[in-house]
Amino acid sequence: MYDYIVIGAGVMGSSTAYALAKEGKKVLLLEQFPIPHTRGSSHGASRITRTAYPEEFNGSIMAVANSMWKDLEKEAETTLFKHTGLLCTTSTLHKELVDTQKTLQRYNTGPVPIIDSAEISKRYPLMSYPKEEKACFDSSAGILYADKCVMAFQRMFQKRGGEVIDMCKVQHVTPGDVVTVHTDKGDFQAKGLVITCGAWSSEILSDLGISLPLQVMAIQVCYWKARNGVDHSSLPLFISLDEISDIYGMPTSEYDGLMKICLHYGVLCAGPDMRDNTDSKAEAKNLKMLTEFVASTFPYLVPEPAIKERCMYTVTPDNQFIVDHHPIHRNIVFGAGFSGRLVY
């Protein structure tokens, strides 16, 4: 019997399994797909990590997380983070920008001024914003190499004696002082259970009498080519905090010479296994908005995506994540709705 079983081997499940193994626990990590895979939300070469959140509690989490990433890099003997800085922008002096500035000033060293579009253009001539644009800069932010991060957690977890079984679909959970996880590869038992399976969380939790307000969205991940080979690699990461055009981007690690620029939302789908069956008109509308943003803000990029890929978000109504335990079976813990929070 195990001390803990963790369901879902994305970045949240793999990091949880690793943390439990570091505490000397006997842990089993289950994943329904082959490892690695592209069906969830943890694949790809790059994610934004930042302290720049309007909510102070997210800033406090990142203050701890940043040092933990350094510890993992050292233990795994691999580079997981590239420091770039992050530009947060809004079309006006939006409350979210002011609150983000407060978070940064609390958890980053030194003052964090609000700058205008003229200063943005002075610092970053390849970017062009309207006259009314305001921004602040997160000096701590950077790119996490997503695939490498997940693999590092799994490798260090196994090095500490942890077990991983992939292509193992959970069919049912029987709660109790000893939790039994029934799968298509047999039954497994543990003193505790952690459920971190992203868009599939609702399937397992509903079987345990828990209904979470999770929504699954199909996201278009777009990569944009530079005109005449203009080098954009020195640009910082950026995030627009405007509700109408919630857009983020970065010089890409996936494809040489391309910029990754995406909407921070997508089109709702009926479930995680239906992500390829979405409203094509809604996707076209989103892509049009994104294309117009690229054309106006990045004059040295071709305003048509060179590559389009698919990802998946699992979100809550207020876009905050959920971490809790079962109200009756307190040895069952779950986490969900992390998409776009803590990492992009």
> pLDDT confidence of 262, banded at 50, 70, 90?
very high
Tokens representing 172 are: 């049912």
- State pLDDT tens for residues 60-90: 999 899 999 999 999 999 999 999 999 999 9
- State pLDDT tens for residues 1-58: 999 999 999 999 999 999 999 999 999 999 999 998 888 888 888 999 999 999 999 9
Output the DSSP codes for 281-344.
Answer: HHHHHHHHHHHHHHHHH-TTB-SS-SEEEEEEEEE-TTS--EEEE-SS-TTEEEEE--TTSSB-
- Rounded mean pLDDT of the chain? 92
pLDDT score, position 245: 64
pLDDT above 60 (res 196):
yes
Question: What mean pLDDT is predicted for residues 131-157?
Answer: 95
pLDDT score, position 310: 85
pLDDT above 70 (res 276):
yes
Give the residue with greater pLDDT, 178 vs 340. 178
pLDDT score, position 244: 63
Residues 6+ away with beta carbon under 8 Å from 15: 153
pLDDT above 80 (res 253):
no
Most confident option among 5-14, 99-108, 237-246: 5-14
Q: Rounded distance, CA 57 to CA 202, Å? A: 25
